[in-house]
Amino acid sequence: MSNVSSIMHAKSTSEDINTGLEEGFRKDISKTLSDILGASYRLMVKSHVYHWNVVGPLFKPLHELTEEHYQNLFEAIDVIAERVRALGNVAPYSIGHAADFAPEGKEVEHLTAIEMVDDLIKEHESICRQMREAAEKAGDNKDVVTEDLMTERLAFHEKAIWMLRATASE
């Protein structure tokens, strides 16, 4: 078998990885990251749905802000999934609970802009709490890459919360 052929048939497993992070930790943090990825996906979908359906005096600023947010979240989802892969684990591949991504409560057409903002803030705050725990766990295990990723994502979510609150304040 040629070198190219053997490379193409090489199988990388989680056990083969020797980057200084223990396999058990890599599996655990990958599960945590997968949960964050799911929450980020849900928030991206909600932001997009609200982007399409917001009405009233806050239409323009919320339409523009939610567009910025769902675009940022879309890119972040890819980065988080790639981190799971770099840790030697399979990125989530099933959206079996896609119905759970839909906005809760009243039908979207009956939500006010303020109710949409409140819902988005709640989702951002929840992800912040998950990311803080993941960053701490990563730091405790010398996984500076995941810790930095969570820090970067936290900055986005905290700014999003601030902007949503400022946009909807009276």
Which CATH number characterizes residue 34's domain?
Answer: 1.20.1260.10
- Spatial distance between the Cα atoms of 159 and 87, rounded to a whole number of angstroms: 28
pLDDT in tens, 61-105: 999 999 999 999 999 999 999 999 999 998 876 666 555 555 665
How buried is 10 (Cβ within 10 angstroms: 0-12 exposed, 13-18 middle, 19+ buried)?
exposed
How buried is 75 (Cβ within 10 angstroms: 0-12 exposed, 13-18 middle, 19+ buried)?
exposed
In this predicted structure, the answer to whether residue 29 has a pLDDT above a threshold of 80 is yes
1 falls within a domain? no
Domain extent for 25: 19-90+102-168
How many domains does the chain contain in total?
Answer: 1
pTM comes to: 0.85
The stretch 132-139 carries a mean pLDDT of 98
- Spatial distance between the Cα atoms of 123 and 24, rounded to a whole number of angstroms: 29
